[in-house]
């Protein structure tokens, strides 16, 4: 599980950079024309990420909860794929952002490769959350979970503003 946590740590840092540099600084997506759907997708994904990265450093999802986590991960993947299509529909991505998304996809795939066997093991346990502490990366992930949640709220509010205009 340690490898999965460290890969999630890298993924979360890459996602934070992608959001802060490309979405906020360079492209100013919350203020862009035609970005309402993309912002809603980002908000939905941010809320899923907040749960995922905020919990895995401290908890295991046992029994039926393992399948809830699987559903959340699959939903996040679906949202990301939809987001890729939406991005291509409304704007031309800078080369660096496209490359960042590719790297994030590779890291996320590696994360899942290490996490899925753990989820399968957790699914055989009685339903509930178990304790699983991963030290330093867990605390950084918890902080990033708060940040990604706030980013999701901001994107949701910006999408509402976009819809009213």
- Read off the pTM: 0.90
Give residue-wise pLDDT tens across range 83-108. Answer: 899 988 888 888 888 899 999 999 99
Give residue-wise pLDDT tens across range 133-161. Answer: 999 999 999 999 999 999 999 989 888 88
Query: Is there a contact between 34 and 90 (Cβ–Cβ < 8 Å)?
Result: yes
Tell me what the mean pLDDT of segment 42-60 comes to: 96
Domain ranges (residues) in the chain: 2-164
Query: Is there a contact between 107 and 12 (Cβ–Cβ < 8 Å)?
Result: no
pLDDT at position 38 is: 85
Give residue-wise pLDDT tens across range 9-27. Answer: 999 999 999 888 887 887 7
What are the structure tokens assigned to 71, written together? 């559903």
């Amino acid at each position: 599980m340690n490898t999965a946590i460290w890969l999630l740590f890298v993924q979360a840092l890459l996602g934070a950079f992608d959001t802060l540099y490309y979405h906020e600084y360079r492209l100013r997506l919350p203020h862009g024309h035609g970005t309402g759907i993309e912002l809603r997708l980002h908000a939905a994904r941010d809320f899923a990420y907040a749960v995922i990265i905020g919990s895995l450093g401290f908890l295991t999802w046992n029994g039926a909860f393992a399948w809830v986590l699987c559903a959340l991960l699959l939903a996040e993947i679906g949202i990301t794929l939809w987001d890729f299509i939406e991005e291509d529909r409304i704007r031309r991505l800078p080369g660096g952002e496209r490359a960042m998304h590719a790297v994030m996809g590779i890291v996320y795939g590696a994360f899942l490769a290490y996490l899925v066997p753990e989820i399968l093991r957790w699914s055989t346990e009685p339903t509930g959350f178990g304790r699983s502490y991963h030290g330093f990366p867990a605390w950084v992930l918890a902080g990033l979970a708060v940040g990604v949640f706030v980013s999701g709220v901001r994107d949701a509010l910006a999408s509402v503003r976009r819809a009213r205009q």
